[in-house]
Structure 1
Amino acid sequence: MGLMNQMSRLPTRARGVFYGWWLVGIAGFVMVISTTPMFHAIGLWFVALESAFGWNRAELSVAFALTRVEGGLLGPIEGYLTDRLGTRKLVFIGLTIMGIGLLMLGQVRSLWMFYVAYLVMALGQGMGSWLPLTTMLNNWFNRKRATAMGWSNSVSRLGSLALIPAIAWGIDPEADNLGFRATATILGAFVIAVAFPVSRLIKNRPEEHGLLPDGDEPIEFDDPADGSTGARAARAALAQIDFTVKQALRTSAFWYISIGHGLTSMVLIAMMAHLAPLLTDQGHSLQTASYVVTTYTAVSMVFQLVGGYIGDRAPKRVALFVFIMIQATAVFVLTFGSATLATAYIFAVLFGIGFGGRNPLTTSIRGDYFGRRSFGKIMGVSQVPMNVLLLIAPTFAGVMRVIQGDYIFAFAVLGVFNLFGGVLFLMARQPAPPVIEQPREAPANVTGNTTNSDS
């Protein structure tokens, strides 16, 4: 416990670096071990389970759809818990649950067991990964918010570059390697083992440690003559107006962003679930499919940084529109292009540019528009319309594959939805600051009596 206590008391400035930047790397690592097995490798699990049990794509896709039901129902609760308990506690709880879900996946012997295992994994990932981690970064950064989120996502993608091929190697049904059971069990044990030490490195807010967002130094605010860059930034941080959940819900921007995010993520979720099966349908090996996934992951890693850089210097809604159009182009290339490996890699490059560039912006734009204080709750509520849309995507693609024998119609429809989502982001202008109600003055005491406020 002595080592753990030392880790939890790491200085808020380690080796002269603002601790928020260390948290960027920590958040990236947590997302690697939680989102990669859950989302980026889902198509690989599908191929392995289809081979082991003979389940069809529609049946397998139901598992992913159920996770979106969980996300829609529990998203507001997870957002409330994030703001109430803090990221540190939720990461520990969430990773532990995620690890238990992976251990359950290693014991799957029927379709209902697979559904239950994936739901447990989804519960852990939802509680301990994206929402609490983005809330933490939103708390630690203002001016550099998009850049910080871009770097964090890039760290996550860097880890995925190694983890995705490793999972593919382990579960490949055509090779005599570990198998899906042993692979899931090893991953589950590792996630549980690191949950506590990693959570001890997390700090929820800079103000709890005498700091301001972006590493700006605290100043004496009774000196309005101080016009230095740090002083102006510090005053701006304190002057930022935060929306409550009710106030955010009354803005059109909240709904444009939430629905736009859902529509542009539908094709992403469908690709995660069905890209590997599509490529194996075309005669490519599972390992080759993992290389295509790794390619778009690698490209997205670079463009997370590009998107973050642009987002802190240009209107985020315009940058989002451009990256989303590139993502849609990639989908149409894969859908209507020739069924060759070259087409798959062209898709991977374009998809990585579009998906990578938009990713840090979809979250940081909410921080810019709605502030920091209720960010977790606002994000949680925002997940409800998002997850309704994400519920549809993988199941729709799987059903169309069973009915029509291919994914052309399904991916074409999802590509059109992607375009519409980009338009909604473009329409999402920053809302006017909420009206702050002033307390009413007490009526004058006409009798001349006075009341002791300390009584």
Structure 2
Amino acid sequence: MVRFLSIGNPWGNTRSVFYGWWMVAVSGFIMMITSVPIFQASALWAVALESHFGWSRTQLGLALSFTRIEGSLTGPIAGYMVDRLGPRFMVFTGLSILTLGFVLFSQVQNLWMFYLAYFIMSVGQGQAGWLTVMTLLNHWFLRHRGMAMGLAMVGMGVGGLVLMPLIAWLINPDADRIGWRHTAEIFAVITLISALVLPKIIRNKPEDIADYPDGQAPVVADSDSQASEVEQNQELELTIGQALRTQAFWCISFGHGFGSMVVLAIMSHLGLLMSDLDYGLQTAAWIIMLQTSVSIVFQFLGGWIGDLIPKNVALFIFTTIQGIGVVFLVIGPELIYFYAFAVLFGIGFGGRTPLTTAIRGDYFGRASFGKILGISTVPMNVLLLVAAPMAGFMRDELGDYDLAFITLAGLNMVGAILFLVARKPKLTGNL
């Protein structure tokens, strides 16, 4: 039975590492190369593109809306495909599509080419990114699911910490450097190499190598008390139809959507907001880097906390903190408020990020996880569809972002409450 991968250490002994932890490392890297350049760095691309083409904030914000249209259309399809074909295949196809998108992005000459390139990149990200790697980890972990997903999210955070200042430095329109076109070409090379290498490492589920989730064989009860404990800890394995009939499915889906609206708007408009206040692009990158640094810590802590207390309660707490952070962006133009935003937003966003996925695994099981996760992204993506253009439109019409961010902070709190009331389903005759 190949349950562990043995690796050497410098002291001459060997220690065994559960192969699932290698899946965590691979997942973290995939999250980094698929999420950071497209979503976290979108505010930086926007500044460079505004300087180069003179496009409005509304036009730039629409690009991220097109990614949400893609998510709404292909999320359920990707969920079905990852359950049917496996994460390994999805990573290869998704990264290949993402490579094509980066190549096209580097050749953009007008607005429709920009929209098309961003749409193709988002399709690739949707196939290889969050949904696929979270399904992979949901197969590999049960007891440590929250921690595993949190550690994978740290990969995205570390990527933001390293890549955000680098991208800002490379594409700064006020400096004579390689520029945004050549930077996009570099990412195309990275994703192409990853598409060829990573699928050779990935195993879709522990059963493929005669292993078990968490590396532990199922407990066989030999007494009534142990049988009761096993039954209490046993996961539900809901079908997509059963999941859709639960209140928890809809509370989590819309809670995730309302909580994520503000994230998408911030990612696309924070650099532009700071530009309005005469802060440079590098200053914006440092604020984003601080937020990312804090979120790295709390992506791990959030997953760990979610394995200790009810995940819906943890999600309520972290989503509330995220909303409070957004309020600091409209208190005043001083840089201290941006630092306060970065810390609070990092705590809230980082803490809730792994839990929004882990709670679905706890509530609905492994068998149909990809389909359930894919369907649940539809209401989320519909809400995300309006986030970036709404913020851009309000700024263009009113001259500032105050009303847009206050509105988003309020919707964020609606999401926090929905998480709180999402209770774990019980398998009854109604399901």
- TM class by shorter chain equals over 0.9
In structure 2, C-alpha distance between the alignment counterparts of 1:251 and 1:161, rounded to whole Å? 38
2:360 corresponds to: 366
1:153 corresponds to: 153
Contact 1:243–1:434 (CA under 8 A) maintained in structure 2: no
Contact 1:164–1:290 (CA under 8 A) maintained in structure 2: yes
Please point out which of 314, 324, 328 is paired with 1:329.
324
In structure 1, C-alpha distance between the alignment counterparts of 2:74 and 2:233, rounded to whole Å? 31
Per-residue deviation, residues 340-380 of structure 1 (Å, max 9, x unmatched): 11111110001000000111111100000000000000000
- 3-state DSSP of counterpart to 2:201: coil
1:224 corresponds to: 222
Please point out which of 339, 343, 346 is paired with 2:337.
343
Matches within 5 A, 1:44-443: 44-217=44-217, 221=220, 224=222, 239-335=234-330, 337-435=331-429
Greater shift, 239-248 or 48-57, is seen at: 239-248
In structure 1, C-alpha distance between the alignment counterparts of 2:128 and 2:228, rounded to whole Å? 35
Per-residue deviation, residues 171-204 of structure 1 (Å, max 9, x unmatched): 1000100111000011112111221211211111
Contact 2:394–2:403 (CA under 8 A) maintained in structure 1: yes
In structure 2, C-alpha distance between the alignment counterparts of 1:390 and 1:14, rounded to whole Å? 44
Per-residue deviation, residues 123-173 of structure 1 (Å, max 9, x unmatched): 000000100100010111111110111111112211221111111111100
* Aligned CA distance change for structure 1 residues 434 and 193 (closer, same or farther; 3 Å): farther
Contact 2:236–2:363 (CA under 8 A) maintained in structure 1: no
1:36 corresponds to: 36
Contact 2:294–2:346 (CA under 8 A) maintained in structure 1: yes
**Aligned-pair CA distance for 1:20:** 0.6
Aligned positions, number = 422
**Aligned-pair CA distance for 1:55:** 0.2
Contact 2:3–2:210 (CA under 8 A) maintained in structure 1: no
In structure 2, C-alpha distance between the alignment counterparts of 1:424 and 1:238, rounded to whole Å? 25
Greater shift, 240-249 or 264-273, is seen at: 240-249
**Aligned-pair CA distance for 1:111:** 0.2
**Aligned-pair CA distance for 1:433:** 1.7
1:20 corresponds to: 20
Give the aligned residue type for 2:272: P
- 3-state DSSP of counterpart to 1:217: coil
Contact 1:98–1:123 (CA under 8 A) maintained in structure 2: yes
State the Cα RMSD in Å: 2.0
Task: Output the TM-score relative to the length of structure 2.
Answer: 0.94
Give the aligned residue type for 2:312: R
Give the aligned residue type for 2:356: T
Task: Output the TM-score relative to the length of structure 1.
Answer: 0.89
Structure exhibiting the larger radius of gyration computed from Cα positions: 1
Per-residue deviation, residues 103-140 of structure 1 (Å, max 9, x unmatched): 11100000000000000000000000100100010111
**Aligned-pair CA distance for 1:227:** 9.4
**Aligned-pair CA distance for 1:434:** 4.8
In structure 2, C-alpha distance between the alignment counterparts of 1:32 and 1:407, rounded to whole Å? 29
In structure 1, C-alpha distance between the alignment counterparts of 2:3 and 2:293, rounded to whole Å? 33
In structure 2, C-alpha distance between the alignment counterparts of 1:435 and 1:26, rounded to whole Å? 40
Give the aligned residue type for 1:17: V
**Aligned-pair CA distance for 1:19:** 0.7
Contact 1:103–1:189 (CA under 8 A) maintained in structure 2: no
In structure 2, C-alpha distance between the alignment counterparts of 1:410 and 1:95, rounded to whole Å? 34
In structure 2, C-alpha distance between the alignment counterparts of 1:388 and 1:436, rounded to whole Å? 28
Unaligned runs of 5+ in 2: 8-15
Per-residue deviation, residues 394-435 of structure 1 (Å, max 9, x unmatched): 010011111111100000000000001100000101111254
In structure 2, C-alpha distance between the alignment counterparts of 1:128 and 1:76, rounded to whole Å? 14
* Aligned CA distance change for structure 1 residues 403 and 26 (closer, same or farther; 3 Å): same
In structure 1, C-alpha distance between the alignment counterparts of 2:428 and 2:193, rounded to whole Å? 44
- 3-state DSSP of counterpart to 2:278: coil
In structure 1, C-alpha distance between the alignment counterparts of 2:182 and 2:37, rounded to whole Å? 14
Contact 1:247–1:434 (CA under 8 A) maintained in structure 2: no
